[in-house]
Amino acid sequence: MTTDCVFCKIAKGELKADLVYEDSQVVAFRDLNPQAPVHILIIPRKHIQSLDALWDQDANIVGRIATVARDIARKLGISEDGYRLVNNCGEQAGQTVLHLHFHLLGGRNLGWPPG
């Protein structure tokens, strides 16, 4: 836990968020500034700064995030049409919150390549 990290605060329930899923390892909530009809952020409860800062022994958390994303996509009705699970790592990728998170986006046609 990093005291000034907004996503740690959301994971601890200290900052309000529209939660769609939580368990002992992972929390998922709606993005404050959605870029698609469905835009969910999925984070580990553990403070990990970015994908680049992920230790090998914590790699299972990324697998867990993927299965949680799959289940949320089904629950929110975007799995048939398709969706995107994306991580921005570092400055040039546009990472603004320094707590590992994956964006689950769906509900519209998503362009490629991004940005």
Segment lying near Zn ion (by CB under 5 A), choices 23-31, 46-54, 71-79, 84-92? 46-54
C-beta of residue 21 within 8 angstroms of C-beta of residue 68: yes
Nearer to ligand 5GP, 22 or 57 (CB): 22
Binding mask 21-60 for ligand 5GP (x = CB under 6 A): --------x-xxx-------x-------------------
Instruction: Report the run of H or E that residue 72 belongs to, with start and end.
Output: helix 60-75
**Distance, CA of 112 to CA of 89 (rounded, Å):** 18
Active site residues: 101
